[in-house]
Amino acid sequence: MRKAFISPTKYVQGEDELLNLGYFVKTFGDSALLIAHPDDVKRVKEKLESTINKFQITLVEGGFHGECSREEVQRLQELAKEKSCSCTIGLGGGKAIDTAKCVAEGEALIIVPTIAATDAPTSHSAVMYTPEGEFDEYAYFNQSPSVVMIDTTVIANAPTRFLVSGMGDALSTYFEARATSRSYSNVNAGLPCGVREGVCGAAKGTNTALVLAKFCYDTLLKDGIQAKVASDCNLVTPALENIIEANILLSGLGFESGGLAAAHAIHNGLTSLEGTHHYYHGEKVAFSTIAQLVLENAEQEELNEVLAFCVSVGLPVCLADIGVDSISYEEALTVAQKACIPEESIHSMPFPITEEAVAAAIMVADQLGRKFKQSKD
Residues with a catalytic annotation lie at: 169, 264, 267, 281
Burial of 1 per CB tally in 10 Å (0-12, 13-18, 19+): exposed
Q: 3-state DSSP call for residue 317?
A: coil
Q: Does residue 26 have a known ligand-binding role? A: no
Q: 3-state DSSP call for residue 57?
A: coil
Checking 349-354 for CB contacts under 8 A at 24+ apart, the result is 349/179, 349/183, 349/261, 349/262, 349/292, 349/295, 349/296, 350/179, 350/182, 350/183, 350/296, 351/183, 351/296, 353/262
Give the C-alpha separation, 50 to 56, whole Å.
10
Q: Does residue 366 have a known ligand-binding role? A: no
Q: Which residues of 324-335 are buried (b: 16+ CB within 10 A; e: fewer)?
A: beebeeebbbbb
Give the C-alpha separation, 259 to 58, whole Å.
39
Q: Does residue 136 have a known ligand-binding role? A: no
Whole-Å CA distances, 316 to 204, 285, 365: 31, 9, 11
Q: Does residue 124 have a known ligand-binding role? A: no
Q: Does residue 264 have a known ligand-binding role? A: yes
Q: Are 282 and 116 in contact (CB under 8 A)?
A: no
Give the C-alpha separation, 186 to 166, whole Å.
24
Q: Are 182 and 199 in contact (CB under 8 A)?
A: no
Q: Does residue 96 have a known ligand-binding role? A: yes
Q: Does residue 169 have a known ligand-binding role? A: yes
Q: Does residue 129 have a known ligand-binding role? A: yes
Give the C-alpha separation, 173 to 250, whole Å.
9
Among residues 60, 62, 84, 82, which one has the least CA distance to residue 73?
Answer: 62
Whole-Å CA distances, 221 to 216, 289, 309: 9, 15, 7
Q: Does residue 100 have a known ligand-binding role? A: no
Q: 3-state DSSP call for residue 149?
A: strand
The DSSP call for residue 123 is -
Annotated binding site: 94-98, 119, 123, 129, 169, 264, 281
Annotated binding site for glycerol: 119, 169, 264, 281
Annotated binding site for NAD(+): 94-98, 123, 129
